[in-house]
Structure 1
């Protein structure tokens, strides 16, 4: 092996490097395009946002208007929710149930559950220790999952009040996800670990290790795959039936942060958003890029930047939609359905 590599000429090595660079650039740079539809949801920008799994609804938090639920079919504002008229707590964490039944909004120490069909509040909750870092809610609004700043994840049965605390993390928790039925959770934190665990027992099923702090996690809603990404350059897709790695996303950046992640319904594709305006469509099977776009910065913003808060597949239109810190919903067409 040493003799073989030693026989390679400088020219051959340079040609190989150039070819690799051209392949990378062609996959990343040439597929960028503009949105085919843009709708303003928050005139002065959004603080956080989520989209329902079927892309029907968007829930946006802003400083002026609390949390706003938009219908993405009629493009009409349905409800405007606040935790209290007198409260100055900023809503910073949001979630919509997979079946579009309920939503949860969270400020530092308060949580509120909402009925999406009627807009009515279904309950307020106050936490006594730490502050809330992320939230999730199950189908029919039966289970609530939230992470706190004291390294605890709480699973709460909203029907009978049963509460389980997951104490596996040793440092701050950055991201959580819950299965639609509420029976499983995926959590990632600064302790370089993501845990997939059973919310009925609190027992760890798998531990996914990373070389740096885990900043984003996501679950395929059919229970096939998990996604975990750290703060440097490892973003992995795991098989939940075995706990084995399926693939890693293929990119050359020395550091890449994900702010939004979504599997499509058949888990063949993965869409990600980043704090640098980037939206990328990946193949789950091999981790390669299919398309790349950039969301719009808010008009007049300096610098011209935007965080992609969430992304969802609009399969009937072969499109992706995003919500970003610009306060804009944007629609991007995919080049094919595969």
Structure 2
């Protein structure tokens, strides 16, 4: 019994040994003085879109933090639910309660707007994902409705697979498959336009975080209490489960570090955690730079397996040196 206890303690010490590694290389810049309510890096990381506390939208050049384009408050929806950047950085979508505003980034001009509704009259948009091929879009709603619309034919396939707000939508790299996850604890993979899922997974609590590897080979999903798994996209089978000492953890943002066995996650507080995706072990947890109490990570981007950049709700861009860890 004592021998087993010794092995357990030794394992904990090994798992936590990287926590003292100084990963942060410090704050790169502060984007404005009004905080960030919504923020997203583009697919290639070259651009960053933010909506600040005054409901003004800015498009930034990530490398030099130059503001390229601003949508003033009077052109914005009263309440911005989400922003989306097309994979080729040519289109910006600003999401309101029931309307999508399409903007041309190269021309910095408004193009058109499109309305979407749920099955119920009170539903509003909760999540939007544009296909990498830019010909299809998924608009998910607060009542569990999912709209799968072809932008060329203007055909919209609407169905209601969830009973609570759908907060996460992820496309595959070919623009053919879509994953949805909702506050009803259900996650599903769909062939675009089909009302029957390829597979489903159900959790006891609402899904708070979803991340998909770039090649769509695996995904990470977390519910609101104590179920965090990495699973295969073939059939949803679990590959590993995250392990930690606390009774439960809250997971918000998550990102696979490509070409490595690392997963980065953010908490509801000011913490960044790195995990080993093969074993599920926690490599370490670090405190992000903050200006205000309660600041958290709103988005992350990893330009390589050796570097991670985080954007906080304070508007701080912070760089992390992942090469300080033993990259696998």
Provide TM-score, normalisation by structure 1: 0.85
Are 2:312 and 1:324 equivalent residues in the alignment? Answer: yes
Structure 2, unpaired ranges of 5+: none
CA apart distance, 1:232: 0.8
Aligned residue among 140, 156, 159 for 2:152? 159
Contact 1:279-1:293 at 8 Å conserved across structures: yes
RMSD over aligned Cα, in angstroms? 2.5
Answering whether residue 119 of structure 2 is matched by residue 124 of structure 1, we say no
User: Do structure 1's residue 72 and structure 2's residue 65 form an aligned pair?
Assistant: no
Counterpart check, 1:22 vs 2:10? no
Equivalences for residues 69-218 of structure 1 within 5 A: 69-81=59-71, 85=74, 89-128=78-117, 129=121, 130-218=123-211
Report the counterpart of residue 247 of structure 1 in structure 2: 240
Question: How many residues are paired up?
Answer: 322
Q: How does 1:294-313 map to 2 (within 5 A)?
A: 294-298=287-291, 301=292, 304-313=293-302
Deviation at 1:140, TM superposition (A): 4.5
Say which of 49, 53, 66 aligns to 1:63: 53
Residue 37 (structure 2) aligned to one of 23, 28, 47? 47
Q: Are 1:272 and 2:261 matched, yes or no?
A: no
Q: TM-score, normalised by structure 2?
A: 0.87
Tell me, in whole angstroms, the C-alpha distance in 2 between the residues paired with 1:268 and 1:13. 28
Which position in structure 2 is the counterpart of 1:5?
none
Give me the whole-angstrom Cα distance separating, in 2, the residues matched to 1:34 and 1:267: 19
Gaps of 5+ in 1: 1-7
Give distance in 2, aligned partners of 1:283 and 1:25.
Answer: 12
Q: Which residue of structure 1 lines up, in the alignment, with residue 254 of structure 2?
A: 261
Aligned to 1:231: 224
Residue in structure 2 matched with residue 3 of structure 1 by the alignment:
none
Q: Which whole-Å deviations, capped at 9, do the CAs of 1:132-175 have from their partners, x for residues lacking one?
A: 11221122532222221111121222222121224211223232
Distance 1:103 1:87, change over 3 A: closer
